[in-house]
Each structure stands twice: as C-alpha cells, then as structure tokens.
Amino acid sequence: MGDYYEERYKLRDHDFKILEKFEFKYSPVGFKFFNTKPDLDGLKKLDKKIAWCQMLIEAQRGKAFYAESDNQSCIPGLFLPGHEERDPVASGGRIGPAFQIYPEERANRRIYQQLHYLEKGSVHSTGFAPLNKLMFDPDLLILTCDSYDQTERLLRACQYDTGDLIESKMTYVIGCNWLFNYPYVTGKINYITTGLCYGMKLHKIYPAGLQIVSIPWHHLDRVLRNINEMPWTCPGHTDQKEEFYVKAHKKLGVAQII
C-alpha cells in the first residue's frame, strides 16, 4: 500500500466508460482544487490568462492543465478558489451598477452573501482535464448536456437510488461559483443553464439552453452505477407504454392508476 499523502491525487477506479453511451458533444471534465503544486505527468500549467468559466471549455476542447492565480482574468476567479482576499470593489456591490447589471449596489452586494468561498491561501491551483486525459481523482465531474434526453437521463441517475431533490442553484452573475465552489463545499449535485449567467454569456462560451451538471466526488460512483443499472428509457416513455401499464397494474394487484 502506497503512502496516502504522496498518492492523494491519484486517479481511482471509476466506471467512466458508461458515459460514452451519452455521446456528449462536450467532453466530460474532471475538476480539482489542488492545495499544493500538482506534480502529475501530463498536467501542465495553463499558458494563457482567461476567465474561470472559460477554463471549462478549454478542457472540453482536449487540454489537461492546472491554473494558478495569475491565469485568472476575472476577479471572481481570483478570490472564489481561495487564491486571494475578496475584492472590496466587487463584494461591496459596486461592479453591477457600473455595468448596468443591477440598479444599485445593495442588490449586487447581496449576491456575495449567497456564494460559497474557500479560505485565502487554501488553494494553489485548479485542475481541469477531459476524461481521456484525466490523471487525478476529480473533486467534481462536470458534464455538459446538449440535448433534453441527456439531461433527463443524467438527472434521473442522480436521484435514482435516493429520491433526493433535483435542484438548480445559481445567481445571474458569478455562475462559476455554482459550477465549482457550491457543489464542492456543500456536497450537493448542481446544474446551471447556459445563457443565464452574465460572464458565460459575455464570453460566448456555449449556446443558450444547455445544462451543465456538476457532481461532487462522493456522488460520482453512485451516479455512474445508476446510469448502468437504471432503464435507459422509462417503459412509460416508449410506444409500448400501454402494454407495460397493464402488466405493471397486474403486478401491483390494483386497478389502473396511471
């Protein structure tokens, strides 16, 4: 058995192959908060300065990398991952009115009371990798659904064995927080809709109407198992639904309820 500390970033055995069945247009991405410089073969520092939300599409295009604070081009990308202190101009709500996003500072300021933060200095860098280049165990698996069927099946898998609530949380600005920090800090699966977050729309990262689902590590194997085990399409959603309902009611020993 190896030394835990030396191997703590090591990729564990996950059944990612089942995800091929979705035929995602945008590659699933593993994401990680590193608290020390990652020394991993194939993972190099990002060679540009871009917004935090832009880093996701960078990985979906095939690049595996880690990003430090000097790679972040926007204020949230600096203080949300735990690189620096919160910027008083931003957290005081002054940006929104200046850019005509909010009518006044107090409305914009409230956003920062909803967000989830990591302590200053607790994060060295953030890692991104498409599945075919993933070499670290992800804190989050981020999946971009470009069709209704993909979204329905993935969210059904998220609650298939638990019945847990399916919910989406986001704010109009700083959508990156709800993709990265929120699921990591709370442990809750979350999804956001593209076209509804200011920064992602500003950078024209995705077409509107896609669903980006962020799954924390402790839900990962459960969700992958559910994708394997659940009916890929519910019988009630097929052309044979009437026949299926008759058989189901007989099994239940009740009159027709659906």
As a whole number, mean pLDDT of residues 70-89 equals 91
> Which residues form the domain of 221?
4-252
Q: How far apart are the C-alpha atoms of 109 and 112, rounded to whole Å?
A: 6
230, with CB counted inside 10 A (0-12, 13-18, 19+), is: middle
- 24 CB-near residues (< 8 Å, 6+ apart): 143, 144, 145, 146, 150
β-bridge mates for residue 67, sequence order: 126
In the chain, the number of structural domains is 1
pTM here? 0.93
Classify residue 258: in a domain, yes or no: no
In a domain, 109, yes or no: yes
Higher pLDDT, 248 or 38: 38
pLDDT in tens, 104-158: 999 999 999 999 999 999 999 999 999 999 999 999 999 999 999 999 999 999 9
pLDDT band at 251 (very low <50, low <70, confident <90, very high): confident
CA 11 – CA 136 distance, rounded (Å): 4
Residue 1 has pLDDT above 60, yes or no: no
Mean pLDDT computed over every residue of the chain:
93
Identify whether 257 is part of a domain. no
Instruction: Judge whether residue 29 has pLDDT over 90.
Output: yes
Is residue 191 domain-resident? yes
Residue 224 within any structural domain of the chain: yes
For residue 236, the model assigns a pLDDT of: 87
Chain length of the chain = 258
Provide the token pair at 3. 């030394």
Reported as a single tens digit per residue, the pLDDT across 168-222 is 999 999 999 999 999 999 999 999 999 999 999 999 999 999 999 999 999 999 9
| In the predicted structure, residue 242 carries a pLDDT above the cut 90 | no
Q: How confident is the model at residue 258 (pLDDT cuts 50, 70, 90)?
A: low
For residue 17, being part of any structural domain is answered with: yes
**Does some domain include residue 42?**
yes
SS3 115: coil
228 in a structural domain: yes
